[in-house]
Amino acid sequence: MKVKVSYSMDIEEIPDLIDGLLAGCRQKMTSELDNLKSSLYDTPKMMKQMDKVRATLSLVDSQLEDVVGLVAGWDQATSIPDEEEEGPPLVETDEETS
C-alpha cells in the first residue's frame, strides 16, 4: 500500500532530500531488475517476480513524480525574480492633481 507523507524542512536541505530519493529509486530498480530471471519451468515463480517488479516500477514512478514536484518547487523558490518583480507594485489612483 502506498501512502503520501509530507513534512516541512529548510530549503537548504532540499538538494540532499532529492539526492536521497533518487538514490533510493536507483537502488530499488537495480535490486528488482537483478532478481528478474526467466523461469519458464516455474511460471508461477516467474509471474510472481514480474508482479513484484511491476509494483516496484509503480512505486518508483510515484517517487519520481514527487521528485519532479520537489525540483520544480525548489527551482521556483530559489530563482532570482525579474527586475520588474523587484520594484514596488504600481498603484493606480483616481485622484486629480492641481
Could you read off the pLDDT of 25-68 as tens digits, one per residue?
A: 999 999 988 888 887 888 898 889 889 999 999 999 999 999 99
d(CA 50, CA 31): 13
* Residue 97: band (very low, low, confident or very high) from pLDDT cuts 50, 70, 90: very low
Cβ(59)–Cβ(2) below 8 Å: yes
Q: Which residues contact 78 (CB under 8 A, 6 or more apart)?
A: 11
pLDDT higher than threshold 50 for residue 13? yes
- In the predicted model, is pLDDT for residue 18 greater than 90? yes
Check: pTM over 0.85? Answer yes or no: no
Rounded mean pLDDT, 85-94: 54
pLDDT value of residue 64: 95
